[in-house]
Amino acid sequence: MPVKRVVKKTNMKKTTKHSKSIVQRKNTSLPISVFENVMKQFDSAAQKLNLDQSILNFIKVPRRSTVVNLPVKMDDGAFKMFEGFRVQHSIARGPAKGGIRYHPGVTLDEVQALAAWMTWKCAVVNIPFGGGKGGVICDPNKMSEGELERLTRRYVADMIDLFGPDDDVPAPDVGTGPKAMAWFMDTFAMRENRFSPGVITGKPISLGGSLGRNEATGRGVMLSTREAVKFLKMDLSNCTASAQGFGNVGSISAKLLHELGVKFTHVSDAYGGLYNAEGIDIVKLIKYVDKHKKIVGFPGAKSIKQNKILYADVDILIPAALENQITEANADKIKAKIVAEGANGPVTPEADKILEKKDIFVIPDILCNAGGVTVSYFEWVQNRIGYYWTEEEVNRRLEEKMVIAFDDILKMAIENKTSLRIAAFMVAITRVVDVVQLRGIYS
């Protein structure tokens, strides 16, 4: 809603046009392009800024999109080909930064969009990174640990020239985690013949990872939601909530908000949904999922259909799954007062307009889930200086960054009578343009 003051390589690399994502548009067979969505968000914000159009054109599109075909030896001795991607959207403010995703639905279109969002996300929280993203089309749930290790090492080896602490710094994403980051770091070290923990973030603590990194994205969601509730003059202890997705982001967001008194009545994951009008015990649910790997069967709530999670009559909705979950086809069914985007791109531009008309306060992804990249930045800094902070210090610095970013965007939104999403893009675009104008464009 418009924000108002509240009174109350197989050695073969190529660059291609983005492919299309699988989510369908309303009343048409054409799919929704995630990259097209981020371009629409950019354009809506850029129209409100009196900036040089040629510079806007320069910062809008990815600077490099790399596609590789990776031969990996499987456990049965056969070789299987996997298609992988790495997109560097911008390096104007610093090294490209963004995770590596292993998922059967990965497309170049999606990776380009995620890389662009990373550019704006890093600018929103004002950390010295540009935007990058990577992915491999695979199903990690159907691969052994050995196969995943060989895939990861081949991915790094084929694109070794892209990566480095001053060039491109990946991190975990959907389907990857600290173990894959350790394989990445080791492969880079062996190829470059030097120990370089700053080439990757989200590493195990013993390899130079940062305390607080595992909870960072969820903590950022909690902090953004807390600030939104405060601005809207609501009471967290009286709020109800629904979480779509119960992986790292969804579960930790829920746990931290639960600790502040929020009652979660609805939760879902890839396997099913849960409902308890009296509130789901999030701590017990996390323990259950640690053991059973899914929420289905949890004795503290009754099973419901997954699609009911989005439409729950609650105060706070946290979409923490994948992109394009709230579209023009279902946005009118959303009842929450606040939508806190734990995932990247869960709301399409068309759905944004509908939510605005319904006066739903959307905390955009490039702010709401920026806690992860912020603590990744802290990890990179600690790797560079060789001194490591306590978890309390990490969390204190993260809170400071998130609150300042929320306030900057809220101020921009109020001054321009626009939504938080458009305001966030306005802040981010302005910061990137300022750097480009100072550096100039080499041509």
The residues assigned a catalytic role are: 133
Look at the alpha carbons of 10, 188, 177, 401 in this order and tell me if their dihedral is positive or negative: negative
- The strands making up 64-73's β-sheet, listed across from edge to edge, are 64-73, 79-90, 130-137, 96-103, 168-172
What are residue 356's phi and psi, to 5 degrees? -60, -45
The per-residue DSSP string of 336-367 comes to -SEEE--SSS-B-HHHHHHHHHTT-EEE-HHH
Q: What is the DSSP letter of 322?
A: -
Asked if 112 and 35 count as a contact pair (C-beta separation under 8 A), the reply is yes
- Minimal CA–CA distance to 302: which of 274, 266, 268, 265? 274
What is the rounded radius of gyration, in angstroms, for the C-alpha atoms of the chain? Answer: 21
CA distance 327 to 268: 18
Tokens 């949904």, located at residue: 273
Asked if 341 and 364 count as a contact pair (C-beta separation under 8 A), the reply is yes
Termini Cα distance of the chain:
41
List all residues 6 or more positions away from 182 whose beta carbon is below 8 Å from its beta carbon.
203, 204, 207
CA distance 114 to 108: 10
What are residue 383's phi and psi, to 5 degrees? -60, -40
Element (H, E) at 256: helix 248-259
CA distance 205 to 192: 22
Asked if 90 and 16 count as a contact pair (C-beta separation under 8 A), the reply is no
| Cα–Cα distances in angstroms (integers) from residue 292 to residues 245, 248, 331, in the given order | 16, 15, 32
CA distance 259 to 371: 18
CA distance 441 to 443: 6
- As a whole number of angstroms, the longest Cα–Cα distance in the chain is 67
Helix (H), strand (E) counts: the chain: 13, 12
Asked if 210 and 378 count as a contact pair (C-beta separation under 8 A), the reply is yes
